Structure 1
Amino acid sequence: MRDARVKLVTTLAVYSIKGGVGKTTTAVNLAYLAAAEGLRTLVWDLDPQGAASFFFRIKPKVKGGGKALLRDQGALDAAIKGTDFERLDLLPADFSYRHLDLRLGQSDKPRRQLERLLKPLRREYDLLLLDCPPGISTLSENVFAVADALLVPLIPSTLSIRTLEQLDAFLREKMPRRAPQLLPFFSMVDETKALHRTIMQDAPRQDLQILQSPIPEIDEIERMGLHRMPITAYAASEMAVGSYRALWREVKLVLSGEW
Structure 2
Amino acid sequence: MKIIACYSNKGGVGKTAVAVNLAYALAAAGKRTLLCDLDPQGASSFYFRVKPSKKLIDAAFFKDVEKFTDAIRGSDYDNLDILPANMSFRDFDVFLSRMRDSRSRLKKALKSVKKDYDVILLDCPPSISTLSENVFRCADAVLVPVIPTTLSQRTFEQLIAFFKENKLPMQKLHGFFSMVQSVKTLHTETMDTMHTTHKRRFLKTRVPFASDIERMGIQRAPVIATAPSSAASKAYQALGEEISKRLARSS
TM-score (norm 1): 0.92
1:9-62 deviation per Cα after TM superposition (whole angstroms, max 9, x unaligned): 610000000011000000000100100111000010000000000000011234
Q: Structure 1 or 2: larger strand share?
A: 2
Counterpart code for 2:113: L
Residue number among 192, 196, 199 corresponding to 2:183 in the alignment: 192
Counterpart CA distance in 2 for 1:200 and 1:48 is: 31
Q: Which stretch has the larger CA shift, 144-153 or 162-171?
A: 162-171
Other-structure match for 1:220 = 212
Residue number among 231, 235, 247 corresponding to 1:243 in the alignment: 235
Counterpart CA distance in 1 for 2:39 and 2:240 is: 22
Counterpart code for 1:230: P
Counterpart CA distance in 2 for 1:116 and 1:193 is: 44
Residue number among 145, 150, 163 corresponding to 1:153 in the alignment: 145
Other-structure match for 1:116 = 108
Counterpart code for 1:123: K
**Alpha-carbon RMSD:** 1.5
Q: Quote how far apart the aligned CAs of 1:238 are.
A: 2.7
Q: Quote how far apart the aligned CAs of 1:183 are.
A: 0.6
Counterpart code for 1:118: L
CA 1:254–1:236: 2 relative to 1, 3 Å: closer
Counterpart code for 1:185: F
TM-score (norm 2): 0.95
Q: Which stretch has the larger CA shift, 135-144 or 205-214?
A: 205-214
Counterpart CA distance in 2 for 1:179 and 1:62 is: 37
Residue number among 161, 164, 172 corresponding to 1:169 in the alignment: 161
How many pairs are equivalent?
249
Please tell me whether the aligned partners of residues 35 and 121 of structure 2 are also in contact (alpha carbons under 8 angstroms). Answer: yes
Counterpart code for 2:215: R
CA 1:173–1:63: 2 relative to 1, 3 Å: same
Other-structure match for 1:3 = none
1:37 aligned onto 2:29: yes
Listed as ranges, the gaps of 5+ residues in structure 2 are none
Q: Which stretch has the larger CA shift, 204-213 or 185-194?
A: 204-213
The percent of aligned pairs where both chains have the same amino acid is: 48
Counterpart CA distance in 2 for 1:95 and 1:208 is: 38
Counterpart code for 1:93: A
Counterpart CA distance in 2 for 1:63 and 1:43 is: 18
Counterpart CA distance in 1 for 2:211 and 2:112 is: 39
| 1:1-259 to 2 correspondences below 5 Å | 10-176=2-168, 178=169, 181-209=172-200, 210-257=202-249
Counterpart CA distance in 2 for 1:232 and 1:126 is: 20
Counterpart code for 1:243: A
Q: Which stretch has the larger CA shift, 228-237 or 148-157?
A: 228-237
Q: Quote how far apart the aligned CAs of 1:207 are.
A: 2.9
Counterpart CA distance in 2 for 1:164 and 1:25 is: 18
Counterpart CA distance in 2 for 1:206 and 1:163 is: 14
Counterpart code for 1:181: K
Counterpart code for 1:200: M
Counterpart code for 2:241: R
Counterpart code for 1:225: G
Q: Structure 1 or 2: larger helix share?
A: 2
Q: Quote how far apart the aligned CAs of 1:67 are.
A: 2.0
Counterpart CA distance in 2 for 1:188 and 1:39 is: 27
Q: Secondary structure at the match of 1:215?
A: strand
Counterpart CA distance in 2 for 1:62 and 1:223 is: 28
Q: Secondary structure at the match of 1:58?
A: coil
1:153-191 deviation per Cα after TM superposition (whole angstroms, max 9, x unaligned): 000012211211111121122134x56611100001111
Counterpart CA distance in 2 for 1:13 and 1:82 is: 20
Q: Secondary structure at the match of 1:136?
A: coil
1:109-162 deviation per Cα after TM superposition (whole angstroms, max 9, x unaligned): 111110110112121100010000001001101111111110000000122112
